[in-house]
Amino acid sequence: MGLDWIVETKPSEGNEKEYSKIKKQLNKLKLNENDSNEEEIMLLEKQLENISISPQDTISDMNDEELNDLDDIMEGGSFLTSSLDFRGKTVGLADIIDEELQEEAYIDHTPKQCIDYAERLELAISSYNKENLDEDEAEDLDNITKGIKWLKFWGNNGHGYHAWY
């Protein structure tokens, strides 16, 4: 099973409560999986779009120094695609972290949860020294380190992620 972390929109200033309300309604309708809800879902998604800031908008509003920070989390691909999603599977399957942290990779996160998850991942890998690891463990360490940077970058910029698999 694959897993990508997809950066979500965030509420525009002053629309936080309405954004949260619409997100809850959308999640409830999508869980129901009733085809008759398609029109209502589309309407709510349009309302949400009108009061949201996209990750692309967040990036376009950044200065050069902030964009340099973004370079640290980019891996291949184009500027936008490599910064807007992350191959969460590399964290979810990393053997150097415990099962609970692996499983959490498959759960959607709010901005605060992204930062908290990054900090717990950081703590989990803090005892590892790259020079003393085998090739697979070193790759896991690199992937988790990249995931931590990605989580902190987007969480600190007010965006959560959707775990897509």
Q: CA-CA distance, 141 to 159, in Å (whole number)?
A: 24
Question: Given this model, what pLDDT does residue 35 score?
Answer: 66
pLDDT tens string 53-79 = 999 899 888 888 777 767 666 654 444
Question: Given this model, what pLDDT does residue 64 score?
Answer: 81
Q: Which domain holds residue 9?
A: 4-164
pLDDT tens string 122-164 = 999 999 988 889 999 999 999 999 999 999 999 999 999 999 9
Domain count, the chain: 1
pTM of the model: 0.87
Q: CA-CA distance, 103 to 99, in Å (whole number)?
A: 6
What is the distance of C-alpha 94 from the center of its chain? 17
Which amino acid is residue 162, in one-letter code? H
Residue 72 DSSP SS3? coil
